[in-house]
Structure 1
Amino acid sequence: MKNIIYSILAVTVLAFSSCQDLNHPTLGDYPKDSNPAGGPLKFYVAFDGTTSDVLMNAVDSIRANFASANTTSSVDGIKGKAIQGGVGKFVSYAKPNDFATTAKSFTISFWEKHNGQTHNNALTNGPEYPFSFVAVSNYHWSSSNFFLLFEGDNTACAVKLVAASGLSGGASVADTWLTWEGSGSIPGLMDNAWHHCAFVYDQATSGLTFYKDGVSQGTKVWTGHGAIGLVNSVIASVRIGCGPQGDASDVSDNWLASTWKGALDQFRFYGTALTAAEVQSLFTAKR
């Protein structure tokens, strides 16, 4: 009887081992952030991997969510390693975990380093994207339901976050542009030094506050909107360092296909609005 039980256990262990993806790192091989199960931090990539497998170097450590593609290179970051973008270079994931399904308020936090004027992929002046959510076909004119772009130089850089919500489809999907542009453009973002950026949306006020290096740059309001209302089912993929259109071979001047030409580090999506003190802590701790 014992021999039968041992045989069953051996087969079970062998079957379990054979089902594991041995190309993925074992537990403990990628950076983690303190966050309880179901906690506010929904997606976190430190880009600290140092393996020869670029997908292992871009693991979201909240749910061991592996990138589906990574054409960036690894460089020194604000803490550990970071990714270096360029024409056609970005990281892609299937989903932002449960961020879109659970977030009513949100915080987006990352570090960026960029030298001078932003450019499209044809290297003429244009926007560049820290991130975008790619939407299913015909959902929205932009091919997205959530994206952030920077456009300008170190003297004045426009910063624009766009969110679309609802399931009506096509051009009728409700969207908003919450922007710092024109006379409100942000100086000092493109000086080839690391800067912390945090975007905090509070459903109670429908306000989005942009923090640069822990300091508020003002709040923009989506009047009366409340909960952000992103639709998870329309998200086809998540891109770090690229707009929602085109692919890695796109070298056109399509402003929605442009990639980030600088470096990015410590990318986080929270499903809650962090306080000013919490944002300041991310900045001072270089997180």
Structure 2
Amino acid sequence: MLSLAKILVPVDFSDRSLAAARNAISLARHFHSEILLLHVVPPLHYEISAIEGGAQFVSSRELSADIADRAWGDLNSFLSSEFDCIPAQRILLEGNPALKIVSMAHAENASLIVMSTRGYGPFRRFLLGSVTAKVLHDAECPVWTGAHLSEAPAMDAVPLRRVACAVDLGPHSRVTLCWGARMAAEFGAELILVHANTLPEVTGHGGQFFAPEWRAAVLERATEEIAQLQQSLGTQAEIYVESGDVAKVVRQAAERFGADLLVVGRSAASGLAGRLRTNAYAIIRESPCPVVSV
């Protein structure tokens, strides 16, 4: 059984942020979760760098107070009617957005972070894209990111009927599959296991090629390993194994099966290398549906 007691939702009031918050509301209704609605006001020098020349000079203290007042107003009115029946805290912080989001998730023992991949506008788009990458890199809890595609539907318009789970057969695959299987079970959804095998290049007289029987043997071995993984965890998902670029294979699988959610793994340990695996961010950018990075 999957428990999502607290869902942290960072918002910047963009349209994509609005969609992410509604996804979180949908999840909170199902799991009876508390939502932590967080807006982080960037340090003042970020805001000053975005002000065009010719603006009237005000003191940094006055400007900071004005920004905070406006932010509180926006935060308190943000989807106010849709949060009526859901326990929610509205939190305003100042500082580095990514660091504040990660530290808040840790301090509150959040079960899940739900956020968009980017916002709108030249400044916000750059900032939120960087923030999302940093949160994916550092957060200890799973991170739900909305589909990166501009016309992706909101979750409340598309029920969870099929959950795709991408595994690399590394040490973290058990955690990834467990989370995906529990999410699928919560919604009575079909579970599909996806594995992309990046075959090494073999060079012959005609250029790069793979012997068909060798490629088939490699994919068959991967299928056997996935079957063993499923047997050890008691899952019975459909298996899709293909060779090629990881992000493209996973995207094609999500499209082929009509996945409403994609679950991918990150590293089990933080540190200088962070938790975000080499292929995870590419998968998120390519995915036609929301992605949970576990």
Query: When the two structures are superposed, what TM-score results if normalisation uses the length of structure 1?
Result: 0.29
Q: Which has the higher contact order (CA 8 A, sep 6+)?
A: 1
Query: When the two structures are superposed, what TM-score results if normalisation uses the length of structure 2?
Result: 0.28
More strand by share: 1
